[in-house]
């Protein structure tokens, strides 16, 4: 037998709204707690990168000038630190890192990656706090992320929160102080505020794992920042720890990616449009020319999610790869033996 109870509609709605309000508050509190926990767990391993350089003053002569220019994070207790290459691009300068508790360490070694905007720093220390590297292949659009960095070069361990806004983006990145720029493919887009000085800092999931290295902010827009997926740099870290240097297979072209949409608009094939060929490189020896569009390497098509750089990094130095190239509307097949590109 079924029993039915009459409840006044006003009381029912009031109870229902109260229930929803409680659930909303619980959800917000849980997320806030998670973010606070991430910050507490990871901040000790985030460092400010400081540049020291001799400058000439008209009245006083040579002066040593120090300024905070970026961020890094410690991944090994013995002082191995990751940051962006463009943060430490000035090879005439000296660098140090400052931890959250104010301790300063002189950077003894800098290894600049030639494939990605990555640099590995080494300081003389032991027992340092570290961050765990997560799996950037598992991130989803819409998931919450936290960025920590040295905002504006003087506000150390500034925390911002947002979501993953997109994956597989292509951007042109460079330092806030000017200098070299480069094309980066397959980066993470986030609306977590990434300010000048945040470059090289960690993008973290709510499990306190690094899923990306903050690399750039879109200066012409708001709430659009980018990070290099951490999985793209793990091989460089492994190689550095095994050999003490970063060695990459090298094709030898600078290019920009022609996306599927751009290909339709410009009536061009989808792939890597070659802007310049490095003299003496594997690409030059294979016959690649500026103006070519490389559409595939080793049978792997070049797309937004499968960039030229990403495909090349699957091979070893000395490997022979086939290139599918479109030149003046005609498809031709070339063969290249990949060279070696070492870190600076």
Catalytic residue set = 86, 117, 199
Rounded Cα gap, residues 167 and 337, in angstroms: 31
**Strand 271-277 relative to strand 253-258, pairing:** antiparallel
**Terminal alpha carbon distance of the chain:** 81
Q: Tell me 93's DSSP state.
A: S
Cα-based angle 260, 262, 263 (whole degrees, multiple of 5): 65
**Strand 209-217 relative to strand 132-133, pairing:** parallel
Rounded Cα gap, residues 192 and 8, in angstroms: 46
Q: State the number of CA atoms in the 13 A half-sphere of 222 facing the CB.
A: 0
The contacts of residue 56 (CB under 8 Å, 6+ apart) are 62, 63
Rounded Cα gap, residues 296 and 284, in angstroms: 17
**Which residues are 297's β-sheet partners?**
300, 323
Rounded Cα gap, residues 165 and 224, in angstroms: 8
The contacts of residue 189 (CB under 8 Å, 6+ apart) are 164, 165, 166, 167, 169, 224, 225, 226
Residue (of 70, 74, 84, 51) closest to 123 by Cα position: 74
Q: 10's torsion region: left (phi>0), alpha (psi -120 to 50) or beta?
A: alpha
Chain-centre distance for alpha carbon 8: 57
């Amino acid at each position: 037998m079924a029993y039915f109870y009459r409840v006044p509609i006003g009381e029912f709605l009031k109870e229902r709204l109260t229930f929803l309000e409680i659930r909303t508050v619980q959800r917000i509190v849980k997320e806030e707690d998670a973010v606070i926990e991430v910050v507490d767990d990871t901040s000790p391993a985030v460092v400010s990168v400081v540049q020291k350089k001799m400058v000439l003053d008209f009245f006083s002569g040579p002066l040593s000038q120090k300024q905070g220019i970026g961020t890094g994070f410690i991944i090994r207790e013995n002082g191995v630190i990751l940051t962006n290459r463009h943060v430490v691009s000035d090879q005439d300068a000296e660098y140090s890192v400052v931890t959250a508790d104010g301790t300063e360490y002189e950077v003894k070694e800098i290894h600049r990656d030639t494939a990605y905007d990555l640099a590995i720093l080494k300081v003389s220390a032991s027992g340092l706090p570290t961050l765990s590297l997560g799996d950037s292949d598992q991130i989803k659009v819409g998931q919450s992320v936290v960025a920590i960095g040295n905002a504006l070069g003087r506000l150390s361990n500034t925390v911002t929160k947002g979501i993953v806004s997109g994956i597989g983006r292509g951007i042109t990145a460079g330092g806030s102080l000017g200098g070299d720029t480069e094309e980066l493919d397959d980066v993470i887009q986030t609306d977590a505020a990434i300010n000048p000085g945040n470059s090289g800092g960690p993008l973290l999931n709510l499990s306190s794992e690094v899923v990306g290295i903050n690399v750039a902010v879109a200066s012409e827009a708001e709430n659009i920042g980018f990070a290099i997926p951490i999985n793209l740099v793990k091989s460089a870290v492994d190689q550095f720890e095994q050999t003490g240097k970063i060695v990459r297979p090298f094709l030898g072209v600078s290019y920009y990616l022609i996306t599927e949409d751009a290909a339709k608009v410009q009536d061009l094939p989808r792939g890597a449009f070659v802007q310049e060929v490095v003299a003496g490189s594997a690409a030059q020896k294979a016959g690649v020319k500026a103006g070519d569009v490389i559409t595939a390497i080793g049978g792997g098509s070049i797309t937004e999610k499968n960039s030229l750089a990403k495909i090349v990094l699957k091979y070893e130095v000395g490997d022979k790869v086939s290139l599918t190239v479109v030149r003046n509307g005609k498809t031709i097949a070339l063969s290249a033996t990949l060279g070696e590109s070492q870190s600076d």
